[in-house]
Chain A
Amino acid sequence: MTDKILEGGKIDARQTLYLLVTMIYATLILFIPQNTVAHAKQDAWLSFLVAFTGGVIISLVVINLSLRFPGQTLFEYLPLILGRFPGKIIGFFYVWLFIHFCALVDREYCSHIVAVFMPETPGEVFLIHGTIMAAYIAYCGLEVLARLNQLFLPLNAGLLTTLFVLVTPEMKVINILPVFDTSLLSLAKSTITPLSWFGEIVALAVIIPYLAEQKNIYHLTIKALFFVLILIELATIGVLLVFSPTLTSSYFFPVLSGTKMINIANFVERLEIIPIVIWVTSGTVKAALFFWAAALGSAQLLGLKDYRPLLLPLAVIVTALGYLLHPSIIDLLNFLTQAFPFYALTFEFIIPFLLLIIVLIKGPGKK
Chain B
Amino acid sequence: MKQKLFLILILLFITINISGCWSKKELNEIAIILGTGVDYTKDNKIQLTYQLARPAAFGGGGMGGGPGGGAAMNQNITWIVSATGDTVFDAQSRLSQQIPRHLYLGHNVVLILGERLCRHGVLDVINFFHRQPLSRGTVWIMATPQEAKKVLESHSELQMTSAQAIGFLARLRTGYVLRFRDFSQDLASRGTNPVLTRVELKRQGVAQGPGLEKIHHHQEIIITGAAIFKEDKLIGWLDCQETQGLRWLKGDIHKMGIIIPSPIYPDKNISLDVIKGNTKIEPVYQKGKVKFYLGIKAEIDVIEQQDEEDFTRTEMIKAVENITATKIRQRVKISLDKVQGEYKVDSFGFGEAFHRKHKKEWSKLKNRWDEEFANAQVYLTVKVKLKDTGMQGRRASLKR
Using a CB–CB distance below 8 Å, which chain A residues touch chain B?
Answer: 115-122, 125, 129, 132, 170, 174, 177-178, 181, 242-244, 246-247, 250, 257, 260-261, 263, 266, 269-270
CA–CA, A125 to B21, complex, Å? 10
Q: Is B356 interfacial (CB 8 A cutoff)?
A: yes
Residue of A nearest to B353 (CB): A174
A181: chain B residues at CB < 8 Å are 359
Question: Could you mark each residue 114-152 of chain B with 1 if its beta carbon is under 8 Å from any beta carbon of chain A, else 0?
Answer: 000000000000000010010011100000000000000
Set A122, A174, A257: member contacting B137, Cβ < 8 A: A257
CA–CA, A66 to B357, complex, Å? 50
A171 to chain B, nearest CB (A): 12
Set B23, B181, B189: member contacting A120, Cβ < 8 A: B23
Contact A119:B171 (CB < 8 A) given known A244-B188, A244-B189: no
B185: chain A residues at CB < 8 Å are 243-244, 246-247
A187 to chain B, nearest CB (A): 15
Residue of A nearest to B360 (CB): A181
A242: chain B residues at CB < 8 Å are 181
The answer to whether B181 and A129 have CB atoms under 8 Å apart is no
CA–CA, A263 to B138, complex, Å? 8
The answer to whether A121 and B23 have CB atoms under 8 Å apart is yes
Supply 17 further A-B pairs (C-beta < 8 A) apart from A177-B356, A247-B184. Answer: A115-B133, A116-B133, A117-B23, A120-B23, A121-B22, A121-B23, A122-B22, A125-B22, A174-B352, A242-B181, A246-B185, A246-B188, A247-B181, A247-B185, A250-B130, A260-B137, A260-B138
Residue of B nearest to A256 (CB): B133
B141 to chain A, nearest CB (A): 14
Set A174, A177, A247: member contacting B188, Cβ < 8 A: A247
The answer to whether A121 and B359 have CB atoms under 8 Å apart is no
Residue of A nearest to B168 (CB): A266
The answer to whether A119 and B17 have CB atoms under 8 Å apart is no
Point out which of A119, A122, A129, A247 has the most chain B C-beta atoms below 10 A from its C-beta: A247
CA–CA, A246 to B21, complex, Å? 35
A127 to chain B, nearest CB (A): 13
The answer to whether B189 and A119 have CB atoms under 8 Å apart is no
CA–CA, A347 to B130, complex, Å? 39
CA–CA, A1 to B130, complex, Å? 58
Question: Could you mark each residue 353-370 of chain B with 1 if its beta carbon is under 8 Å from any beta carbon of chain A, else 0?
Answer: 001110100000000000
B179 to chain A, nearest CB (A): 9
The answer to whether A118 and B21 have CB atoms under 8 Å apart is yes
B58 to chain A, nearest CB (A): 17
A170: chain B residues at CB < 8 Å are 181
The answer to whether A132 and B188 have CB atoms under 8 Å apart is no
The answer to whether A119 and B133 have CB atoms under 8 Å apart is yes
Set A118, A174, A177, A246: member contacting B22, Cβ < 8 A: A118
CA–CA, A22 to B335, complex, Å? 53
Residue of B nearest to A246 (CB): B188
B106: chain A residues at CB < 8 Å are 270
CA–CA, A260 to B107, complex, Å? 12
B355: chain A residues at CB < 8 Å are 178
A-B contact pairs, 27 of them (CB 8 A): A115-B133, A117-B133, A118-B21, A118-B23, A119-B23, A120-B23, A121-B22, A121-B23, A122-B22, A132-B13, A181-B359, A242-B181, A243-B137, A244-B185, A244-B188, A244-B189, A246-B188, A247-B184, A247-B185, A250-B130, A250-B188, A260-B138, A261-B138, A263-B138, A266-B171, A269-B138, A270-B106
CA–CA, A295 to B188, complex, Å? 48
The answer to whether A261 and B181 have CB atoms under 8 Å apart is yes
B181: chain A residues at CB < 8 Å are 170, 242-243, 247, 261
The answer to whether B137 and A178 have CB atoms under 8 Å apart is no
The answer to whether A174 and B356 have CB atoms under 8 Å apart is yes
Q: Which of B6-40 contact A (CB under 8 A)?
A: 13, 17, 21-23
Contact A178:B359 (CB < 8 A) given known A119-B133, A244-B188, A247-B184: yes
A269: chain B residues at CB < 8 Å are 138
The answer to whether B189 and A246 have CB atoms under 8 Å apart is yes
A277 to chain B, nearest CB (A): 15
B23: chain A residues at CB < 8 Å are 117-121
The answer to whether B133 and A178 have CB atoms under 8 Å apart is no
B106 to chain A, nearest CB (A): 8
A119: chain B residues at CB < 8 Å are 23, 133
Contact A260:B136 (CB < 8 A) given known A120-B23, A125-B22: yes
B294 to chain A, nearest CB (A): 16
B109 to chain A, nearest CB (A): 10
Residue of B nearest to A129 (CB): B17
B13: chain A residues at CB < 8 Å are 132
CA–CA, A191 to B232, complex, Å? 33
Point out which of B17, B188, B355 has the most chain A C-beta atoms below 10 A from its C-beta: B188
Point out which of A122, A132, A243 has the most chain B C-beta atoms below 10 A from its C-beta: A243
Residue of B nearest to A177 (CB): B356
B21: chain A residues at CB < 8 Å are 118, 121
